[in-house]
Amino acid sequence: MAWYSRVPNSGDIYLALFNIKDNDQDVSIDFSSLGLKGNIQVRDLRKKQNIGIYNTYYTKAINKHGAVCYGLHRQTEL
């Protein structure tokens, strides 16, 4: 399950991924479902660390009934 919110006055998105299963599970988000395309910088908001740059989707292994929160930012072309 995924919840998201657009950051006002920005192209950025806050994203929360939830594992609602009774076992550890990979949870994915397809960036196109959020209206994003291109290179997307994924940042772990809790750890305050950049995770990496991804193009079409991101997948995270999440503990049962767990959740993670990210900031998504579209990288600009140089």
Q: Give the structural domain span for 39.
A: 2-74
Neighbours of 10 (CB within 10 A): 9
**Band of the pLDDT at 24, cuts 50, 70, 90?**
very high
pTM for the predicted model, two decimal places: 0.89
pLDDT at 76: 76
Two structure tokens written together for 78: 């140089």
Residue 18 reports pLDDT greater than 90: yes
Say which CATH number the domain at 43 has: 2.60.40.1180
Residue among 52, 66, 75, 51 at smallest CA distance from 16: 66
- Mean pLDDT, rounded, of the chain: 94
Q: Are 52 and 44 in contact (CB under 8 A)?
A: no
Q: What is the per-residue pLDDT across 34-56, written as a single tens digit (0 to 9) for each?
A: 999 999 999 999 999 999 999 99
Domains held by the chain: number: 1
